[in-house]
Structure 1
Amino acid sequence: MTKDHLGNPITDTDPALIAAIDAFIQGFLAYQPQAVTILGLIEQHPGSCLGNAYAGMLYMFLESTMAPDLARPYAERALQAAGNPREKANAQVLAAWVAGDIPQVVRLAEESARQWPGDLALIKLGQYHLFNLGDAAGMLRIALHALTHAEDTPYLHGMIAFGYEQCHLMPEAEAAALRALEIEPTDPWAHHALAHVMLTQGRVDEGIAFLESVSGDWADLNSFMHTHNWWHLALFYLSRDRQDDALAVYDSHVWGREKDYSQDQIGAASLLARMEFAGIDVGERWQDVADHVARRGADTTSPFLALQYLFALERARRPEAATLLGAIEARAATPAHDRLAWEEVALPAARGIAAHARGEAALAARHLGRALPRLQEIGGSHAQRDFFEQIHLDALIRAGALSPAQQVLELRRGYDPTGIPLNRQLAQVYEGLGLPGEAARARARLPGRAP
């Protein structure tokens, strides 16, 4: 019986196709560009159930309005092809994804995780969709199905670590990430999970030292993982006010790999905004990001993505921002499984972003304030969604709402106690509130300032 390199039985027998299937699995789990190898072979194997399913998944990962049309022929071939039950499950997951039936994708993926815990690619795909739905507990649960079957596989422990972290279970997340790195020290998703833990716990200097020590392992990763792990390092640099280092990371690693890719675009947009909120002059960098985002048109593939596209367009004063805002409003009125996330979370957030760009700070704060308590429903990680918290904070300060801004800043200080931009903001807010003693204490936390 033919098996993939994880030990799952497969019906294909052609050695080249089997190698391409293994390349997809390894590339998907380890964020390596070899995952796309299957695209160069699949036209020679129209009867391969698993091969066509994997090819279609790659197109869906484009996260764009054109992705379903590109992936649909592969889903149809995969469904029609002969295959074992696990392979058929992969085809059914792809077909549901192409059809936009994400609840069905999640149901099928979790059923498959129970039946075939060795299919780590399908489990990771399920975790991806649960992440986009903001279901942190589901992310952890689906990964844990495979623990007894794949205990020696590092990439599983990285998935488990991220599930724990998104559930706010930091000791468990760190232990799982370290277990992954015991098996495979170069695992970038385990690096990523540890970065999240250290950021959440305010271990900024430790985070810088760790990520710098493993950054050499990211050079040949796919665009998303290369740019995203560097993005995390830039967040640590911002806390330490290492402005030149943050700009260098942006220019050398975060922007410039795959400028048409969704994740690269939102990483660039959110980092540029965070740098500006930290007091950094980013020059004309917004224009290039907005040029590429504008080509997406009215892309409402995901609320999490669309809001960041909107911010980039608004910040660059692009007329396409109005079109995208209109598309978000239309999506919020369209019946779908995620309508409430669009209507009650994404839409007020979008209106807040637009108001922020117009300089209507008080209105921006009100709109964003409505969205923030339920922001998890649009997907993204805690660290990524913090971008919207920072827009809200900036709006509060600009609106002169210093008392609520003080509340937000002190809560943020709980996980960034020595953050330099944060304590500078606190000092300014306390001065505005007529609390010079607290302002002095905030300034004392800045480098070189005595209490």
Structure 2
Amino acid sequence: MAATAPLRDCQAWKDAGLPLSTPSNEACRLFDATLTQYVKWTNDQSLGGIEGCLSKLKAADPTFALGHAIANGLILIGTGRSVRLDKELDLAVKTMVEISKAQPLTQRERLHVSAVETFAKGNLPKACELWEQILQDYPTDMLALKFSHDAYFYLGYQEQMRDSVARIYPFWTPDIPLSSYVKGMYSFGLMETNFYDRAEKLAKEALSVNPTDAWSAHTIAHIHEMKAEVRDGLEFMQRSETHWKGSDMLACHNYWHWALYLIEEGEYEAALTIYDDHILPSLQLSGAMLDVVDSCSMLYRLQMEGVSVGERWQDVLSVTRKHSRDHVLLFNDVHVLMASLGAGDSQTTQELLSTLRDASESPGENCQHLLARDVGLPLCQALVEAHSGNPDGVVELLLPIRYRTVQIGGSNAQRDVFNQLLIHAALTSSSSTHRNVARSLLMERDASKPNSPLTARLIRRAAAVHLLQ
């Protein structure tokens, strides 16, 4: 199997201090190939793609516990399937646990199995604690690092996402496979906690080692977005496109960032061209949840700007409808709701809301279901009120939870759609109190993003109705 770096066999993993409980060198190499593609956000056809590697991995050693852990973990981290609704996945997780109990694994491997099982139950904070236990003793365990990094992102645990990498960063010397990608992970956590200069420095260091590091390019896109450096952002995306567009699992998201700059500039037709040429085709090809939220978020932002998106919601709904009962992540639920509302599918809208309400009433240890009552459901209802033309209802629902939306996960840039919704609703409210809220929010936004063309447009709109006199 061809690869840019030698894939590690049993002895190589042992030499790295991360022994794997399998006698199969082929299983070890396929585990490495799968992990490498996950970290790089790409299905490398020279390796057989992630699914191809996992299939061969299972055949090489059907009882390789960590092979089952990475396979199940990747499905769960993708957030498009849950053990509540997917019997095949539920069986796979139970099989993983049974296999782990039937053999003498290392403590590190047992913790991995427990973490994936815990994640499957929806207890993401506990899963992160288990991965952190691994990293305390094995700071170069990339699987534990990457799984916890993604889980922290889903939880909105921004400081933990940053600090988890900071704690192990000194151990990742350049001779360790994938070490440059740790720079990119660290830079993202720094960016999300507003350390923009340090984040950009690390991301550029990562790109100097590997220009095709799509995640590090993505971090720089975020930095320009958060600082409203629109021209710099557009130039960077154009200059780097040839390097990151081959990362099929992240390219759509990077194009989404590109489109955000265009929406900021008011270049709506150009943004729709990116949507039609890159974002929708990626959604239809992959059905991946990241592509779902990108598609929904972009169309929703354009609609708030007064742009007609035509029948595009119907194309998205054909992918999202099947996720209306998932309730794996509230962040996903809200975006799936955007699609059913946009497409005018009242049945799917009601199904999503009623099943989410049911989940919130019997949450068990599922952290998302526990959060649904106080944050998830009010956020969803705010979208319904906006669709119904009730801006006062939107403000009453969103204003009390605006500082809690971070708990549903996603990035600062992604969640900005909710800030924009609140401002638009407050601007069009019939209540003088709510219109004063709009004024306050705009002054606040202008202070944090003083160069934002979108904010400038909203301020002009407020001035036209005498809110800023």
Structure 1 and Structure 2 fold alike (TM over 0.5): yes
- Of the three residues 31, 40, 50, the one matched with 2:66 is 50
Q: What is the distance in 1 between the residues matched to 2:353 and 2:395?
A: 17
Q: Which residue of 2 aligns with 1:446?
A: none
Q: For the Cα contact (< 8 Å) 1:31–1:188, is it kept in 2?
A: yes
Q: For the Cα contact (< 8 Å) 1:290–1:313, is it kept in 2?
A: yes
Q: What is the distance in 2 between the residues matched to 1:5 and 1:321?
A: 51
Deviation at 1:75, TM superposition (A): 4.3
Secondary structure of 2:247's partner?
coil
- Of the three residues 244, 255, 276, the one matched with 1:251 is 276
Q: What is the distance in 1 between the residues matched to 2:114 and 2:41?
A: 24
Q: What is the distance in 2 between the residues matched to 1:302 and 1:108?
A: 20
Q: For the Cα contact (< 8 Å) 1:134–1:377, is it kept in 2?
A: yes
- Of the three residues 234, 241, 255, the one matched with 2:266 is 241
Q: Which residue of 2 aligns with 1:348?
A: 378
Secondary structure of 2:425's partner?
helix
Secondary structure of 1:373's partner?
coil
Q: What is the distance in 2 between the residues matched to 1:36 and 1:6?
A: 27
AA at the equivalent of 2:437: P
- Of the three residues 205, 208, 215, the one matched with 2:234 is 208
AA at the equivalent of 1:379: G
Secondary structure of 2:171's partner?
coil
Q: What is the distance in 2 between the residues matched to 1:250 and 1:305?
A: 19
Q: For the Cα contact (< 8 Å) 1:332–1:342, is it kept in 2?
A: yes
AA at the equivalent of 1:140: R
- Of the three residues 145, 161, 179, the one matched with 2:187 is 161
Q: What is the distance in 2 between the residues matched to 1:6 and 1:124?
A: 21
The answer to whether structure 1 residue 20 and structure 2 residue 30 are counterparts is yes
Q: For the Cα contact (< 8 Å) 1:4–1:22, is it kept in 2?
A: no
Pair 6,210 (structure 1): closer, same or farther in 2 beyond 3 Å:
farther
Q: For the Cα contact (< 8 Å) 2:436–2:467, is it kept in 1?
A: no
Number of residues of Structure 1 aligned to a counterpart in Structure 2: 435
Where does 1:177-216 land on structure 2 (aligned, <5 Å)?
177-216=203-242
Deviation at 1:154, TM superposition (A): 1.1
Q: Which residue of 2 aligns with 1:226?
A: 251
Q: What is the distance in 2 between the residues matched to 1:199 and 1:425?
A: 17
- Of the three residues 100, 109, 112, the one matched with 2:131 is 109
Where does 1:222-371 land on structure 2 (aligned, <5 Å)?
222-223=248-249, 225-259=250-284, 260-318=287-345, 319-337=347-365, 338=367, 339-371=369-401
Deviation at 1:174, TM superposition (A): 1.6
The answer to whether structure 1 residue 2 and structure 2 residue 11 are counterparts is yes
AA at the equivalent of 1:425: L
Q: What is the distance in 2 between the residues matched to 1:295 and 1:159?
A: 32
Secondary structure of 2:281's partner?
coil
Deviation at 1:254, TM superposition (A): 1.4
AA at the equivalent of 2:252: T
Q: Which residue of 1 aligns with 2:112?
A: 90
After the TM superposition, which of the residue ranges 249-258 and 198-207 deviates more from structure 2?
249-258
Deviation string, structure 1 residues 83-109 (Cα, Å, up to 9, x no partner)? 333223222221222233323211111
Structure 1 length as normaliser, TM-score? 0.90
Q: For the Cα contact (< 8 Å) 2:301–2:417, is it kept in 1?
A: yes
The answer to whether structure 1 residue 69 and structure 2 residue 90 are counterparts is yes
Q: Which residue of 2 aligns with 1:389?
A: 419
Secondary structure of 2:410's partner?
coil
After the TM superposition, which of the residue ranges 335-344 and 382-391 deviates more from structure 2?
335-344
Q: What is the distance in 2 between the residues matched to 1:334 and 1:308?
A: 23
Structure 1: state its 5+ residue gaps: 439-451
Secondary structure of 1:412's partner?
helix
After the TM superposition, which of the residue ranges 416-425 and 369-378 deviates more from structure 2?
416-425
Q: Which residue of 2 aligns with 1:123?
A: 145
Q: For the Cα contact (< 8 Å) 1:26–1:35, is it kept in 2?
A: no
The answer to whether structure 1 residue 59 and structure 2 residue 68 are counterparts is no
AA at the equivalent of 1:12: T
Pair 6,169 (structure 1): closer, same or farther in 2 beyond 3 Å:
farther
AA at the equivalent of 1:55: A
Where does 1:406-421 land on structure 2 (aligned, <5 Å)?
406-421=439-454
Structure 2 length as normaliser, TM-score? 0.87
Q: Which residue of 1 aligns with 2:3?
A: none
Deviation at 1:39, TM superposition (A): 2.2
Deviation at 1:355, TM superposition (A): 1.0
Secondary structure of 2:172's partner?
coil
Q: Which residue of 2 aligns with 1:377?
A: 407
Deviation string, structure 1 residues 175-216 (Cα, Å, up to 9, x no partner)? 221221222222111111111111111211111111221112
Q: What is the distance in 2 between the residues matched to 1:244 and 1:42?
A: 46
Deviation at 1:48, TM superposition (A): 0.8
AA at the equivalent of 1:37: G
Task: Please provide the CA RMSD for this pair.
Answer: 2.2
After the TM superposition, which of the residue ranges 102-111 and 144-153 deviates more from structure 2?
144-153
Deviation at 1:356, TM superposition (A): 1.0
Structure 2: state its 5+ residue gaps: 1-9, 44-48
Deviation at 1:428, TM superposition (A): 2.1
AA at the equivalent of 1:38: C
